[in-house]
Amino acid sequence: MDTNFDGWKPAQCLFLEAKAKYDQFFKDGEPNDFYKNIKLKGKMSGYDSMINQARRQNARH
């Protein structure tokens, strides 16, 4: 499983994951239709990709 993070703070033993301007993809806490339904390069939607990454990063080894 290939899991990447944007940074690491060793003093707090904390992985960092930065997201910018993701609020543009949501309205009232729900993903916009285009973000949830449009497939990127025929694979996953942006929403599915985000959820997949979050699950990988949250996996317990």
13 located within any domain: no
- pLDDT number for residue 28: 93
In tens, the pLDDT along 4-60 reads: 888 889 999 988 887 788 888 899 989 999 899 988 777 899 899 888 888 888 876
| 47 Cβ contact list (under 8 Å, min separation 6) | 25, 31, 35, 36
The total number of structural domains in the chain stands at: 1
12 located within any domain: no
Domain that holds residue 58: 22-61
Three state DSSP letters for 13-60: CEEECCCCCHHHHEECCEECHHHHHCEECCCEEHHHHHHHHHHHHHCC
30 located within any domain: yes
56 located within any domain: yes
11 located within any domain: no
Distance in angstroms between the alpha carbons of the first and the last residue of the chain: 10
CB count, 10 Å around CB of 16? 10
52 located within any domain: yes
3 located within any domain: no
Higher-pLDDT residue of 61, 23: 23
pTM score: 0.62
27 located within any domain: yes
